[in-house]
């Protein structure tokens, strides 16, 4: 280490003396020349970095606002606020003060105002109970919150669900979980997902039938396959069907879920077995099948689970045995031949509903003419169609019996959805006319008053008719293209198909589906409500119908009576005429006889004859008198 120090000496007595500096000539103390070796160790720095800041120049200064003086004081409210000159313990001073205040002018004015307004409110209280409880029932507990918390206090939820009015649909929602896109679609030629069927044994699988839009031509370039999707895998279908014509509808066999039946655009049927590959196991021949696309198929209850039925707008309803699709078992025409049903002729079948819990041989059919009919396969009369229900202005695209009350069914068509009772041919309830067409709909299997409708503008509506008649509870816009089909699985999940070939898979909120944590809650109170409402509407319609019929009858009777009266009057007139004529004839006869007798008198000159004459005269006179009396 180099010590750097500079020694100098100083006398002791000179310590503390101020320094006196003087100039000295310049002397070079050290000269360090630049060394090129050292220079090589350095590099010229270009570009140089230099920081600048364009900021306004501000000065830092502290400032304080004017300080408000606060004072802590206590107030003893045994007697408060009296001004200084009044001693609260002395009553007379207080009274004096009070009286002084009362004498002031402004006191009087203010008092007037106060009295007026106070009086008003007091009177309000005595005139009516402004805090009246309209519904004297137990408080609406936090059951809605509990349902959302999913399972917290499930028991108390079911207790409060037995209240008369269920307010649980206050947070209804339908959330879109996944969208299954048609793997073979492209924007130019879109296939629509025309029909959806859930696998009855496995809630995660659904079969969808894809076909070109039924109203357009069938470009053969489009693929003809339909798929089974697994809801957990939206990227790829889990099974593919390859029929020889695009399928318009497809249904799982409810008892044997690896067998499916599909109806195609050329009117034929195909049977598929998942275990045996994607080609159809059997198919029907075009000559025996429908001449128009098959609009709906359904499995029928039978011993070996082999019977299916198919309908189409060619008006035929054909029953098949899937073991032998070469020939149909039975074929019926959807026609009404009897006069007094309200419609006469053949109808095109568009939608079908078969409910085994109601009857194993009866079907509900929705037709192109807008008429819903109930068809009895085992009917003995000439017409298998037992009843026809009117009301829709356009074709009925979907219909279904209510799963809780199977005497009531809903139909979807034109701009409305309607609910019918099977006894009455006009609807007992209809939704308000929507701005777009309704294309499909179905009931919820878990809540009796809830049903779904799909619309042409791509919206799915969820209705709860116990809660609100006029508009749907939830309205979800799923896609820009029209929705074509809908199917609900056990109440919690809904699959909706649209015209662009996508199948939307939605989950319903627990209060709509009534399923919390996989458990269904009892809907007895709702059922009661619903059936009361239905019956009320039914009675109303029946009364209206009865009134109408009675009014018609009355009118007819009045007309008939008028007719009768006219006839009677004519008869009477005729009779009167006749009588008058008779009388006249008699009169003329008698006159003639009298004149004749007079003549006889003139001709004879005998007195006797005169006497006889007189007698005769008298007789004749008497006769005349008698006549006149007559």
Partner 1 sequence: MSADIEEMMKRVTGSDGVKGVIIMNTLGIPIRSTIENNEETVKYTSLISSLLLKTESALNNLYTRTSSLGHRHYHHGNSPPLSVFRLRTKLHEIVVTPVRDFIMITIQQPEF
Which residues here bind partner 1, judged by CB under 8 A?
A: 77-82, 97-98, 101-103, 106-108, 110-115, 117-119, 121-123, 125-126, 128-129, 131-132
Residue 102 Cβ vs partner 1, minimum distance, rounded to whole Å:
6
Return the DSSP state at 153: T
Q: Is the Cβ of residue 93 or residue 623 nearer to partner 1 in the bound state?
A: 93
Nearer to partner 1, 117 or 258 (CB): 117
CB of 106 to partner 1, least distance (A): 7
Shortest reach from residue 128's CB to partner 1, in Å = 8
Hey, which residues does 176 pair with through a beta bridge? 506
Between CA 101 and CA 99 the distance in angstroms is 5
- Closer residue to partner 1 (CB): 79 or 149: 79
As measured in angstroms, the least distance from the Cβ of 105 to partner 1 is 9
Query: Which residue stretches of 69-214 are H helix?
Result: 91-103, 105-127, 143-149, 154-160
Question: How distant, in Å, are the alpha carbons of 159, 361, 400 from that of 259?
Answer: 42, 22, 23
Rounded least distance, CB 513 to partner 1, Å? 41
The smaller minimum CB distance to partner 1, of residues 10 and 77, is found at 77
**CA 393, CA 437: separation in Å to the nearest integer?**
11
Residue 128, Ramachandran bin (φ over 0: left; ψ between -120 and 50: alpha; else beta): beta
Instruction: Between 139 and 608, name the residue whose CB sits nearer to partner 1.
Output: 139
Nearer to partner 1, 14 or 129 (CB): 129
DSSP, collapsed to helix, strand or coil, labels residue 396 as strand
The residue (of 81 and 219) whose beta carbon lies closer to partner 1 is 81
- Cα–Cα distance between 305 and 161 in angstroms, integer? 39
Cα distance between residue 339 and residue 323, in whole Å = 39
Structure tokens at 330: 């039975």
Number of neighbours of residue 192 by Cβ within 10 angstroms = 26
Pairing of strands 493-498, 483-489: antiparallel
Which alpha helices (DSSP H) does 16-74 contain, by range?
36-40
In the bound state with partner 1, the residue whose beta carbon lies nearer, of 119 and 579, is 119
In the complex, minimum distance from the CB of residue 96 to partner 1, in angstroms, rounded to a whole number? 12
- Distance (Å, whole) CA 308 – CA 323: 11
**Shortest distance, CB of residue 89 to partner 1, whole angstroms?**
12
Q: How far is the CB of 124 from partner 1 (least distance, A)?
A: 9
Alpha-carbon distance of 599 to 617, in angstroms, equals 12
């Amino acid at each position: 280490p180099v010590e750097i120090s500079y020694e100098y000496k100083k006398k002791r007595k000179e310590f503390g003396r101020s320094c006196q500096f003087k100039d000295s000539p310049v002397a070079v103390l050290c000269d360090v020349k630049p060394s090129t070796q050292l220079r090589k160790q350095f590099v010229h720095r270009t570009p140089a970095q230099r920081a600048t800041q364009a900021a306004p120049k501000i000065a830092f200064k502290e400032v304080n606002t004017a300080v408000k003086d606060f004072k802590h004081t206590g107030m003893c409210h045994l007697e408060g606020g009296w001004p200084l000159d009044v001693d609260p313990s002395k009553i007379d001073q207080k009274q004096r003060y009070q009286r002084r205040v009362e004498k002031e002018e402004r006191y009087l004015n203010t008092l007037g105002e106060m009295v007026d307004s106070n009086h008003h409110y007091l009177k309000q209280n005595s005139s009516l109970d402004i805090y009246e409880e309209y519904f004297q029932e137990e408080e609406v507990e936090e059951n809605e919150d509990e349902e959302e918390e999913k399972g917290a206090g499930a028991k108390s939820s079911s207790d409060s669900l037995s209240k008369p009015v269920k307010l649980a649909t206050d947070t209804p929602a339908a959330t879109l979980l996944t969208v299954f896109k048609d793997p073979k679609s492209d924007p130019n030629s879109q296939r629509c997902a025309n029909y959806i069927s859930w696998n009855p044994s496995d809630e995660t699988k659904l079969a969808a039938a894809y076909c070109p839009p039924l109203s357009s031509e069938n470009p053969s370039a489009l693929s003809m396959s339909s798929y089974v999707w697994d809801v957990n895998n939206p990227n790829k279908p889990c099974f593919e069907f390859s029929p020889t014509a695009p399928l318009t509808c497809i249904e799982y066999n409810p008892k044997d879920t690896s067998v499916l039946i599909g109806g195609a655009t050329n009117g034929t049927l195909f049977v598929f077995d998942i275990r045996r590959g994607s080609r159809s196991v059997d198919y029907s021949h075009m000559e025996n099948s429908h001449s128009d696309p098959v609009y709906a198929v359904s499995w029928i209850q039978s011993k070996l689970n082999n019977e299916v039925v198919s309908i189409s707008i060619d008006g035929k309803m054909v029953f098949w045995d899937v073991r032998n699709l070469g020939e149909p078992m039975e074929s019926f025409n959807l026609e009404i031949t009897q006069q007094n049903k309200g419609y006469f002729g053949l109808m095109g079948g568009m939608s079908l509903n078969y409910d085994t819990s109601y009857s194993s041989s009866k079907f509900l059919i929705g037709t192109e003419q807008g008429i819903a009919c109930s068809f009895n396969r085992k009917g003995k009369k000439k017409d298998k169609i037992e009843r026809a229900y009117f009301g829709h202005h356009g074709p009925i695209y979907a219909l279904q019996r209510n799963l809780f009350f199977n005497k009531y069914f809903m139909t979807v068509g034109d701009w409305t959805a309607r609910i019918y009772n099977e006894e009455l041919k006009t609807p007992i309830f209809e939704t308000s006319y929507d701005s777009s067409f309704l294309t499909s709909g179905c009931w919820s299997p878990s809540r009796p008053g809830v049903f779904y409708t799909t619309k042409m503008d791509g919206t799915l509506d969820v209705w709860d008719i116990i809660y609100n008649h006029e508009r749907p509870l939830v309205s979800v816009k799923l896609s820009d293209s029209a929705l074509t089909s809908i199917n609900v699985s056990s109440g919690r999940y809904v699959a909706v198909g649209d015209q662009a070939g996508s199948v939307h898979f939605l989950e319903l909120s627990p209060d709509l589906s009534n399923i919390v944590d996989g458990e269904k809650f009892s809907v007895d109170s709702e059922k009661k409500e619903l059936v009361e409402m239905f019956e009320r509407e039914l009675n109303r319609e029946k009364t209206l119908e009865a009134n109408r019929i009675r009014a018609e009858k009355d009118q007819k009777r009045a007309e008939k009576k008028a007719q009768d009266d006219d006839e009677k009057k004519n008869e009477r007139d005729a009779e009167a005429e006749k009588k008058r004529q008779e009388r006249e004839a008699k009169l003329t006869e008698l006159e003639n006889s009298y004149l004749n007798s007079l003549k006889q008198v003139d001709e004879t000159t005998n007195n006797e004859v005169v006497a006889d004459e007189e007698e005769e005269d008298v007789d004749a006179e008497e006769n005349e008198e008698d006549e006149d009396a007559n």
